[in-house]
Chain A
Amino acid sequence: MSNKIHVSTKVNGDAVEFLCDPRETLLDVLRDRLNLTGAKEGCGTGDCGACSVTVDGRLICSCLMLGAEAEGKEIGTIEGVAEGGELHPLQRKFIEHAALQCGVCTPGILVAAKNLLEKNPDPTEEQVRYWLAGNLCRCTGYDKIIRAVLDAAEEMRGAA
């Protein structure tokens, strides 16, 4: 019970510190210790993508990384996608295209899609589908999600 690990890291640009059990995942830490419940646990085995976050800019399933491994890293979560109160174009387009029904996969999909558009601002439909193949959605059949991502990409290219 006493072998907690002290970790200093950055989440959405803010410095944070926490103590965690060596067995706790990054997802456990985000949710249970840092009160960031936007990332969801859909499977705990890295198959559903609902817990997607970025670590030093790389997209990962936070259920597959230990909290202790966050030491010195920069974590990005859904709570940091809207900057300064202004929604990211992806967030606006998801609402506009009705790209969510229950919404529980939405945070993970938005984090993953944002990461895609940072690497590839002009993806094809197929590229979006393969990039998001690790993010399960059981409600939508993905149609409106793919349209929302492509539309956001187009808007962002226009704005750039």
Chain B
Amino acid sequence: MALDEVKEIVESGENYDTDKEFKYVGTRPDRPDGLDKVTGRAKYGADHYVANMLHAAVLRAPHAHARIVSIDTSKAEAADGVKAVVIGTDLPEGLTGGDLHLQENTLARDKVYYDGHAVAAVAATSALAAKDAVKLIEVEYELLPHVIDVDAAMAEGAPVIREGEQGPTVPEGMHPNVVNYIEFGHGDLDAGFDAADLVMENTYKTEATHQGYIEPHACVGQLGDDGKGEMWVCTQGQWFIRKMCAAVLGLEASNLRVTPSEIGGGFGGKTTIFSEAISLALSRKAGGRPVKLVMTRSEVLRATGPTASTSMDVKIGMKNDGTMTAGKVVFRMQGGAWPDMAPTGMALNCAFASYDLPAVYHEGYDVLANRPKAAAYRAPGSPMAAFAVESLVDEMTRKLGLDPIEVRIKNGAKEGTKSSYGPTYKKIGLLECLEAAKAHPNLAEKLGPNQGRGVAAGFWFNHGGETSVSMSLGNDGTVTVSAGTPDIGGSRASVALMVAETLGIPYDHVRVNIVETGALGFNEPSHGSRATFATGKAAVEACNQAIGEMCRRAAKRWGIDEDAVEWKDGAVHPAGPNAGEFPPMTIKKIGQTMGRSGGPISGHHETTAGGVGESFGAHVVDVEVDPETGKTTILRYLVVQDAGRAIHPSYVEGQYQGGAAQGIGWALNEEYVYDDMGRLQNPIFLDYRVPVASDLPMIDTVIIEVPNPGHPYGVRGVGETGITPPLPAIANAIADATGRRLRHLPMTPAKVLKAIKNG
């Protein structure tokens, strides 16, 4: 593409031409950070050690809901090696809204809202000294009644968790724990249900699950009395850490420099702060000595993440031929003891997103409960919504003797469909996914006794977001890219491939660095499946800017018009025979001589990235259910998903497989278990059981490519959709195998056995 064409597209916001051949995009080179990560050299959150460093430990409440009567820290302060102690009242007062909620969750002030809520912290000369000192802190609590279950929390007489948090849309007369109410839809719902041959409705429940990243939260914070500080931290977004810590501590954001470590998994759970601000508060109190704070697994499970638990009603109308005529959902979701943490709105938007329905209606309640402040978890809200809707679609399909894939194709959303949440879809790839699933050899496998097959579709919006990228030319013609989205699953490789493609230089001539907050403009985290989409798009535009400069330099050197040159295969060429006879000026030559042609060459691009393309998927799972024990074994698993374009197909497949595995865990094993005092009963990996290698088969993948016209290489973003279909697909497979429909996750052996026995 000629430079002026590129410029025109960028300025006009028109669609990119994504239908062309590529040299690097779509290949599978080694990832740039691979060597560091297979040798143990890569530095994660807890791997940072600095001179004069102190170690922190946090005291956490053992109660679900209690008033803090008093905190006595004197014995801890007097203990050997202790340099600082902080409690909630040490943090600045006067915050409001989301900032106040972050601060309350960082350190409780008046009340503790959940088992594991932080109440005090110590910095000492060793980790052991800090842990010992924490035990010397005396807290007197006045216990308050608590509530854990979402339906119980909104029932009359439930303990009131917070006053005055009810949003303006909540209907009058609802319990104060209902803090937000959402309602939307279109079409004539009654007429839709009247037109159906079969109308069914059911209630579904899902339990809270944790993102379960293997790396616990860890940071080293340093803050002086002058309000200037530094932080090393494992995070999905260093600017979010900066913004949130600054708000909680009353700092000026630019005075805090945040460097992201390598990140050991996040899945949404590392897009916010939990105890990062504590390390800074301790550091300031300890005379500016750096303070390392590393959570234990038990702290991670008790006090970070998790996702919402839900209670969901679904009603659907269907004709005898499978045509869906109307759909209605009512979702109740709790996201802990703070408002707006449950992904209720997004769950509603996703509920019927895969379908073209003449009439839909959605209603949702955001409810408080005495649980940890929920964080985003991979396609927030969508897996639960899919569990409810795709389970009922399957149940009706079976009742009518129809094929589950055909019914989804018949009703499937496509370009021009008015989506269930309102807007009209542009180019999307759901039908292509369903057709590919239908044609896959897994569907030809014969099933034996106690075996069953389940199908489900899934959806995620994807996200663009605030993005800033810069690139610079080295004096040997190689290129450095500075990106602000932490590399959580191979995005350095995908960005380097797009830069190599754009510049026409070898992949290994591009180095992508993930940089600290001082080195770029603001970037949102690696969330919303946006890193390859948005950072990639901005990196391409930064390269185009540098290409423009390189073209100008060459034209000047040759003494011809700027418009008479073009960029091709890593060099400036005369644009045609009329431009004159000049040998191509390579990027290497330009790099070697840039000091004499006008100085360093770089490009940068800042945007709130538009052009986002939705990603749909379809999963097919075969299971075997042991009728003696109720245990479900996954025999085969197929993920088909629209990537738009797979920049590095291996890492796209990895996202599909990882999403499926997390969904399998959510469907079969994972849940937060509370005792009657509201204390979490399974805060270790032995009891909060995520899938292990022997639980799973190979996970087959098919990458569908319906290019997104809003990205220079057609990228949609692939991180999240894959966790959405497994919940219902497995429930549908279990129903196929046993004739029993499970409507409450997880589908543990005990629950499945009970369903088999009770009929």
Contact = CB atoms under 8 A, between A and B. Distances in A.
Question: Do A and B originate from a single complex?
Answer: yes
Interface string B676-707: 00000000111000111111101100000000
B686 A102 contact: no
A137 B264 CA distance: 10
16 contacts: A36-B40, A39-B40, A47-B686, A77-B40, A95-B30, A98-B653, A102-B263, A102-B264, A102-B488, A104-B215, A105-B214, A138-B265, A141-B696, A143-B653, A144-B654, A145-B693
A142 to B, nearest CB: 4
A141 B262 contact: no
Contacts of B38: 87, 91, 94-95, 100, 103, 106-107, 110
A144 B657 contact: yes
Task: Give 6 closest A-B pairs by Cβ, nearest first.
Answer: A38-B40, A104-B264, A141-B661, A103-B37, A98-B650, A141-B657
A25 to B, nearest CB: 11
B496 to A, nearest CB: 14
Contacts of A21: 126, 128
Contacts of B662: 138
Interface in A112-132: 125-126, 128-130, 132
Nearest to B131: A23
Contacts of A91: 38-39
B297 A44 contact: yes
Interface stretch (B41-49, B393-401, B743-751): B41-49
Given A40-B215, A42-B214, A136-B685, A103 B698 contact: no
Given A87-B35, A95-B35, 14 more contacts: A1-B129, A31-B46, A32-B49, A36-B40, A37-B46, A38-B40, A98-B650, A98-B654, A100-B34, A101-B655, A102-B266, A125-B698, A133-B695, A143-B657
Contact of A103 (B262, B690, B696): B262
A140 B31 contact: no
Interface residues of B, number: 64
Question: By CB atoms of chain B within 10 A, which of A47, A139, A147 has the most?
Answer: A139
Decide if the interface of chain B is mainly helix, strand, loop or mixed.
Answer: loop
A133 B693 contact: yes
Contacts of A37: 40, 43, 46-47
Contacts of B489: 101-102, 139
B28 A143 contact: no
Contacts of A41: 46, 216, 294
A111 B509 CA distance: 32
Contacts of A50: 214
Interface residues of A, number: 63
Question: By CB atoms of chain B within 10 A, which of A38, A47, A126, A128 has the most?
Answer: A47
B74 interface: no
B533 interface: no
Nearest to A126: B694
A5 to B, nearest CB: 13
A33 to B, nearest CB: 11
A16 interface: no
A54 interface: no
Contact of A136 (B37, B648, B692, B698): B692
Interface in B641-659: 648, 650-651, 653-655, 657-658
Contacts of B651: 98, 101
Given A79-B39, A100-B38, A103-B264, A42 B215 contact: yes
B14 interface: no
B215 A102 contact: yes
Contacts of B212: 138
A144 B699 CA distance: 9
Nearest to B662: A138
Contact of A97 (B296, B650, B685): B650
B40 A138 contact: no
Contact of B685 (A32, A43, A96, A106): A43
Interface in B615-660: 648, 650-651, 653-655, 657-658, 660
Nearest to A93: B38
Nearest to B487: A102
Given A98-B650, A136-B692, A142-B693, A40 B39 contact: no
